[in-house]
Amino acid sequence: MTVITRLGYCEKCFKEGRPKIGQNFIVFGKTANTFKGLISEKSNRRGCVPHVYKLKFITRKNVVYYKRICCMDNCGASVGIENNKKFIYFNETQWVHEATSLSNWKELVKFRDEAFVI
């Protein structure tokens, strides 16, 4: 299954003024092939925050079905420390299920916004 982290727009984060300096968020590390929690070091465009995209399946007509979720703490994800151990998890009810063309999906996978940093 393809899993990627990409920039996305989140209405809830926009209303909350995210991303904010010092806020926790989750990313999927391609090299380590695992999720990890990070802390934002700077603010950026309000509402433009990391999202995880997970490929579900592709139809014979080249329609891609996937799900995505906001990676910001207190939105689609939670990051914290409990009993001296770091934990990260996604709120399973917050996943958004969507579809796009195969060509759009391929472009999303290839796209990297190197200038966007939080």
Q: So where are the chain's domains?
A: 3-110
Q: For every one of its 118 residues, what pLDDT tens digit does the chain have, with 9 covering 90 and above?
A: 689 999 899 999 999 999 999 999 998 887 888 888 888 888 888 999 999 999 999 999 999 999 999 999 999 999 877 888 878 889 989 999 999 999 999 999 888 766 555 5
Look at residue 102 in the predicted model and tell me its pLDDT: 95
Q: How far apart are CA 19 and CA 87, in angstroms?
A: 20
Per-residue pLDDT, 117 = 58
pTM exceeds cut of 0.95: no
Cα–Cα nearest to 38, from 23, 48, 51: 23
